[in-house]
A and B are shown apart, each in its own frame.
Chain A
Amino acid sequence: MEFGILVNEGPYTHQASDTAYLFARTAIEKGHKVPRVFFYHDGVNNSTRLATPPQDDRNVSSRWSKLAEEHAVDLVVCVAAAQRRGINDDVLAPGFRISGLGQLVEMGIQYDRLVTFGD
């Protein structure tokens, strides 16, 4: 099955991004496909490479980048939400790209399921 994933909350304050990551990783391990993850609202803050959490904690953006590299997951950050929050191409972690909301709508149209993680 093909899953589209929508992440609506930022890292660390909320668990949404962690749960979305674990869902995506597990789905892929089970043989499903996660072609794209879309980051919206404060979810765009998951895409910055400037975050430096303590070494004994997980690095949320880095593990998204790793998942993208290993499994060709398209990590899309909403441009309008990103501009509001100071996220641009200069600060993006590897594997992330900035694009429009149409990429989110496409996931709903093309994939078997769209799963939202947020409040």
Chain B
Amino acid sequence: MSDMDEMEDGSGIVKKFMFLNRKAPHGTVYALEGLEVVLITAAFDQDVSMVFTDDGIYQLMKGIDTKGIEVKDFSRTYRALEGYDIEKLYVDQASLDARGLTEDDLIVDVTVLSVDEMANLMAEQDVVISF
């Protein structure tokens, strides 16, 4: 029962899936395992958006080096998202400001949104999954 077989199910229905990334890339497994769900959802031809907020914006930081903590560095996966037709990447302005960061500190092109704009975008979604 591979995921390839399962992709036959529910074909034709396209829903808006938002993945809300709230946690730092390392320290917990949520970011790494969350990315797997994002990629599978895109493989089901769904309308995928990714939001990075709170410590989740650290997932997109330039210069991540995991050698010292001896865990897998998966940050290059974010650069590959475009190849999976995942191009809607949003970052919360307030979360950037609170951490002294700007778009220039991030490894991919994103759209920066205010809290109100983010709330509107969230309200448009069919499914919101938070990691």
Contact with A along B1-12 (1 / 0, CB 8 A): 111001101100
Cβ–Cβ contact A81 & B33, under 8 A: yes
Contact across chains for A109 and B3 when beta carbons are under 8 A apart: no
Contact partners of A114 in chain B: CB under 8 A: 127, 129
Closest residue on chain B to residue A80 by CB atoms: B36
Given known pairs A99-B1, A102-B3, A105-B46, the reply for A41 and B129 (CB within 8 Å) is no
| A26 CB–B CB distance under 8 Å | no
> Contacts A6-B129, A41-B30; is A101 near B37 (CB within 8 Å)?
yes
Known contacts A108-B17, A109-B15; is-contact A100 B127 (Cβ 8 Å): no
Interface residues on A, range: 20 to 34
- When the two chains form the complex, which single residue of A80, A81, A106, A116 contacts B6, counting CB atoms closer than 8 Å? A106
Of the residues B1, B6, B15, B33, contact of A108 by C-beta under 8 Å: B15
Size category of the B interface is 20 to 34
CB pair B130 A109 closer than 8 Å: no
Q: Are B10 and A100 in contact (CB under 8 A)?
A: no
Chain A residues whose C-beta falls within 8 Å of the C-beta of B36 in the assembled complex: 80, 101
The reply on A103 being an interface residue by CB < 8 A is yes
The distance in angstroms between the C-alpha atoms of A53 and B33, with both chains bound, is 28
Q: Does A40 contact B (CB under 8 A)?
A: yes
Is A109 a contact of B44 with CB atoms below 8 Å? yes
B13 near A: Cβ within 8 Å? yes
A108–B3 CB distance below 8 A: no
Residues of A within 8 A of B37 (CB): 40, 101, 104-105
Give A contacts to B, CB under 8 Å.
6, 8, 40-41, 80-81, 99-106, 108-110, 114, 116, 118-119
The 3 A-B residue pairs with the shortest CB-CB distance, nearest first, are A102-B6, A108-B127, A102-B3
